Amino acid sequence: MVKLEHFKSKDLEYLSKWIDNEKDLFQFAGDMFSFPITETQIVKYLNDSNRFVFKVVYYETIIGQAEIYLEDKFNARLCRILIGDSKFRGKGIGDILINELLRMSFEELKVDRVNLNVFDWNIGAIKCYEKSGMKINKGITKEAKLGEEKWIAINMSINKNEWKK
């Protein structure tokens, strides 16, 4: 059983446990936070009224975090998705999580389109998003730098009609 509960600043303890280096933080959040994440950063992050941040609970165990960011009244972005507890990865929980985030976006927030960015080397995540019906938008990429490393993020999306199928 996977459920989403509102993420609160006290839940930072889980993120701190799961993300213990700058590279993992950058993969999770881009340049949203600086390492290590502090409560001040989390409070500011949670105060954005367009941001719906959840902790992912599997039965009674908090195993991850996910966010829906309302870009405007027609578009939402899924971001900062993490199954942080590694023993829960590769078990299909991500598929359930993405489908629930899409359901919330389309049915509760009433948007027409949902998109996300994912680093092109994160094949497992890309396959998870494709299972939910999301498609790669060829030619829409972003470049990010971590030190001397250059990472390319691809964009994926699904609209409400595609999701309903």
For residue 40, the enclosing domain spans 2-164
Residue 120: name the closest of 145, 149, 157, 152 by CA: 152
The pLDDT assigned to 165 comes to 79
- Average pLDDT, consecutive stretches of 10 residues, N- to C-terminus, the chain (165 residues): 95 94 94 94 96 97 97 98 93 96 98 98 96 96 94 98 90
The pLDDT assigned to 104 comes to 98
Domains contained in the chain, number: 1
The pLDDT assigned to 164 comes to 86
The pLDDT assigned to 22 comes to 94
Residue 131: name the closest of 87, 94, 91 by CA: 94
The pLDDT assigned to 103 comes to 97
> Which CATH number fits the domain that encloses residue 7?
3.40.630.30
The pLDDT assigned to 58 comes to 95
pTM for this predicted structure: 0.95
The pLDDT assigned to 14 comes to 95
The pLDDT assigned to 135 comes to 98
